Amino acid sequence: MSQLSISTGKRGRSVASSSAPTVSSLSSSTDLASLFECPVCFDYVLPPILQCQSGHLVCSNCRPKLNCCPTCRGPLGNIRNLAMEKVAGNVMFPCKYSTSGCTVSLVHTEKADHEDACEFRPYSCPCPGASCKWQGSLEQVMPHLVMSHKSITTLQGEDIVFLATDINLPGAVDWVMMQSCFGHHFMLVLEKQEKYDGHQQFFAIVQLIGSRKQAENFAYRLELNGHKRRLTWEAMPRSIHEGVSSAILNSDCLVFDTSIAQLFADNGNLGINVTISMA
């Protein structure tokens, strides 16, 4: 549970399982799924399914990019293939990340939601900002950060001080630091945003270089101390699969404005005490 406190002075999901399908039913479902392969990108053609005049299918992502049917070169109309849509409702489709190790197969109505949260989905670079477009496996994240983001400092230990320098710099600014403990790496992010009216806000959050399931094993505390005041935030770290954008958008992190920052800053530098613990 997240908690925010200021003083003067001192997420669940359950999945029902059924009996295991037989080998013949798995083979049949796999064979049926292959009938829905898009001839352009080899992803699956899922409802609503449109066909050309000769009955050939193409997926909804590829169709807007095509001027004619990729199979017969005939015109692409707006003819619904209701029979294939009905068949699709009874087919178990493999996750698009099956080549990366996911073994889940599911009905098409659940496929997109699963893939958005699939632990085998490629990880994006966790550094804030959109300048780095790198993607790769979880095991490749730290080597990428070490090689491509050498300016990021890593501190060892469960309790560290995250020092953000020059917090009075104008405009939007990001400060990033790594913390290593309990055999894992955590990324500490302090982001300053400038609103249209000139009002500035700071957002501080911790994310785990790991999966959502791994993140559930930890908790973190951020604390500002100084001048007989204390501002704290406690929460579960977010997985880098989730990123920090949605947390910042929903203020699900330590949030404070410029006036609060000045209460704790020292010559334009802000120290944030960071504590990682086992949940």
| 190 shares a domain with 81 | no
The radius of gyration of the chain's CA atoms, rounded to the nearest angstrom, is 25
| 269 shares a domain with 180 | yes
The pLDDT, as a whole number, for residue 21 is 43
| 162 shares a domain with 101 | no
- The pTM for the full model equals 0.71
- Report which of 199, 276, 209, 203 is spatially closest to residue 246, judged by C-alpha positions: 203
The pLDDT, as a whole number, for residue 128 is 85
Identify the three-state secondary structure at position 129. coil
Residue 98 CB-density burial (10 A; 0-12 exposed, 13-18 middle, 19+ buried): middle
Domain boundary among 73, 94, 117: 117
62: containing domain: 27-117
- CATH number for the domain that contains residue 86: 3.30.40.10
| 260 shares a domain with 164 | yes
CA distance 145 to 126: 9
* Residue range 129-148, pLDDT digits in tens: 758 899 998 899 999 999 99
- CATH number for the domain that contains residue 182: 2.60.210.10
| 156 shares a domain with 112 | no
Q: Which segments of the chain have a pLDDT < 70?
A: 1-30, 130
Residue 15 CB-density burial (10 A; 0-12 exposed, 13-18 middle, 19+ buried): exposed
Q: Please calculate the CA angle 243-246-251 and round it to the nearest 5 degrees.
A: 120
The pLDDT, as a whole number, for residue 28 is 59
| 273 shares a domain with 156 | yes
